[in-house]
C-alpha cells in the first residue's frame, strides 16, 4: 500500500518533471507472470518421440509482467498485481520486477508452480508451445480487492487476458468506482463477458484478436473500423487496433485516426504488443493526448522489434525519447 509520504513524493517528482501537479503517474498492472523454457529441435517432436535439442533458453515472460516492466522502464511508477509460485522461477521473477523498480507488494507467492511455457522451435522457425498457467490461475478477486487502494491511487489500470476473467472484472469494477482509467489488452483473445467490456475505457486488440472478439472479418481498414465500432458498442470509448509494421488505428466516438510507425528492420516481434501497451499507458498517465500517446507507444514498440527476446527487448525511456 502506498503511504502518504510515497504519494506526496510522487506528486513532487511529477512537479519537478514539469508535469501538472494533479497528474499522477501511478499505474497498476494486473496480470500474468511466466517463465519460458525454450529449445531448438531439428523438427517439432511427434507424439512419443525424443529428439536431441540445442540452444536451451530460460526467460521470464507473461504479458502482465512484460507490460509492468515496459511501464516501469518507460517512466511509470508501477505496482504489479500478480501471483508467482513458491519456486526458483518465482523468486527470480520477484527479484527481476523489484530491480525494474516495480512495487511488488501486491505480487503474491502461492502454492502452485510459477506459470510456465515450454517452447520448441524447429530449424524452419516453426514453433510449438505448451503453457501451464500455474500460479496465474490463483490470481483471485481477493487479490484485486487487496490492491484496491493502489488502484484508487493510480490514474490507469492496465490488464490482459492471461489471468482469471472474474479477477479482471473485479479490478475493473474497483477502477470504475474510483475514477481510474482501465486499459484492457485483450490478449490472448478469449470470449469476454459484456459486463467486463462495459467497464473498460480503452481496449487494444491486434487485428487477429479484434476478429476473434467480434467474430467479424478484419482484413482491410474498412473492416477494421467496422469491427472496432462493434467492440466500442459493447463499452470502451476508445479502440486502438495495433497493426504490426503499419502502426495502429485509433477509433473513438467521432474519429478514426491511423497512426503510422517508423520503418525498422524487425528481427523479433515477441514483446511488441506488451511494449506498446506499457508505453501507451505511461504516456496517457503523464497527460499526453491520445494520439501523442499512440505515437510514443509505436516508437517504443518499433524499437522492441529490433531486439531479440521479451523483457530484454523492451527499451528504456531515454532510448525511446532519442528515437525519432
Ligand atoms: P502483437 O505483437 O500483439 O501481435 P502487433 O503485431 O500489432 O501486435 O504489434 C504491436 C505494435 O508493435 C504495433 O502497433 C507497432 O507499434 C509495433 N510493431 C510490430 N511489428 C512492427 C514492425 N515490423 N515494425 C515496426 N513496428 C512494429
Q: Which residue's CA lies nearest to atom 5 of ligand 1? A: 244
Residue list, ligand 1 pocket, CB within 6 Å: 187, 206, 242-245, 247-248, 261, 264, 266, 269, 272-273, 276, 298, 301-302, 305
Residue 79 contacts residue 147 (beta carbons within 8 Å): yes
| Distance of CA 138 from the midpoint of ligand 1 (Å) | 30
pTM reported for the whole predicted model: 0.92
Ligand 1 centroid to residue 258 C-alpha, Å: 14
CA distance 148 to 81: 10
Catalytic annotation present for 274: yes
Among 87, 274, 292, 321, the active-site one is 274
User: In sequence order, which residues have a C-beta less than 8 Å from that of residue 136 and are 6 or more positions away?
Assistant: 32, 33, 34, 62, 82, 83, 115, 162, 163
- State how far the Cα of 69 lies from the Cα of 22, in Å rounded to an integer: 24
Q: Return per-residue pLDDT of the chain as tens, 324 residues.
A: 334 444 444 443 444 333 343 456 799 999 999 999 999 999 999 999 999 999 999 999 999 999 999 999 999 999 999 999 999 999 999 999 999 999 999 999 999 999 999 999 998 888 899 999 999 999 999 999 999 999 999 999 999 999 999 999 999 999 999 999 999 999 999 999 999 999 999 999 999 999 999 999 999 999 999 999 999 999 999 999 999 999 999 999 999 999 999 999 999 898 999 999 999 999 999 999 999 999 999 999 999 999 998 999 999 999 999 997
Atom of ligand 1 nearest to the CA of 187: 3
Amino acid at each position: 500500500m502506498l503511504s502518504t509520504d510515497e504519494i506526496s513524493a510522487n506528486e513532487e517528482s511529477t512537479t519537478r518533471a514539469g508535469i501538472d501537479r494533479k497528474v499522477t503517474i501511478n499505474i497498476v498492472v494486473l496480470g500474468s507472470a511466466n517463465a519460458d523454457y525454450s529449445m531448438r529441435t531439428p523438427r517439432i517432436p511427434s507424439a512419443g518421440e525424443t529428439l536431441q535439442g540445442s540452444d536451451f533458453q530460460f526467460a521470464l515472460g507473461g504479458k502482465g509482467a512484460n507490460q509492468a516492466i515496459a511501464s516501469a522502464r518507460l517512466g511509470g511508477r508501477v505496482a504489479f498485481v500478480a501471483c508467482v509460485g513458491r519456486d526458483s522461477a518465482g523468486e527470480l521473477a520477484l527479484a527481476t520486477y523489484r530491480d525494474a523498480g516495480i512495487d511488488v507488494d501486491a505480487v503474491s507467492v502461492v502454492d502452485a508452480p510459477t506459470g510456465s511455457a515450454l517452447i520448441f522451435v524447429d530449424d524452419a522457425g516453426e514453433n510449438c508451445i505448451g503453457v501451464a498457467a500455474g500460479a496465474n490461475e490463483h490470481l483471485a478477486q481477493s487479490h484485486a480487492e487487496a490492491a484496491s487502494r493502489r488502484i484508487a491511487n493510480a490514474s490507469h489500470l492496465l490488464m490482459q487476458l492471461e489471468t482469471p476473467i472474474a479477477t479482471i472484472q473485479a479490478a475493473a469494477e474497483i477502477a470504475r468506482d474510483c475514477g481510474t482509467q482501465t486499459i484492457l489488452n485483450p490478449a490472448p483473445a478469449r470470449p469476454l463477458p459484456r459486463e467486463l467490456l462495459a467497464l473498460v475505457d480503452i481496449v487494444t486488440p491486434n487485428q487477429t484478436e479484434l476478429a476473434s472478439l467480434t467474430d467479424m472479418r478484419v482484413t482491410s481498414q474498412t473492416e477494421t473500423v467496422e469491427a472496432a465500432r462493434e467492440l466500442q458498442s459493447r463499452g470502451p470509448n476508445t479502440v486502438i487496433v495495433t497493426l504490426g509494421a503499419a502502426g495502429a488505428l485509433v477509433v473513438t466516438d467521432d474519429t478514426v485516426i491511423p497512426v503510422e510507425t517508423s520503418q525498422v528492420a524487425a528481427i523479433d516481434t515477441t514483446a511488441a504488443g506488451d511494449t506498446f501497451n506499457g508505453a501507451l499507458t505511461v504516456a496517457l498517465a503523464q497527460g499526453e493526448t491520445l494520439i501523442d500517446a499512440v505515437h510514443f507507444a509505436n516508437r517504443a514498440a518499433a524499437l522492441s522489434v529490433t531486439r531479440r527476446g521479451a523483457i530484454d527487448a523492451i527499451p528504456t525511456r531515454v532510448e525511446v525519447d532519442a528515437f525519432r
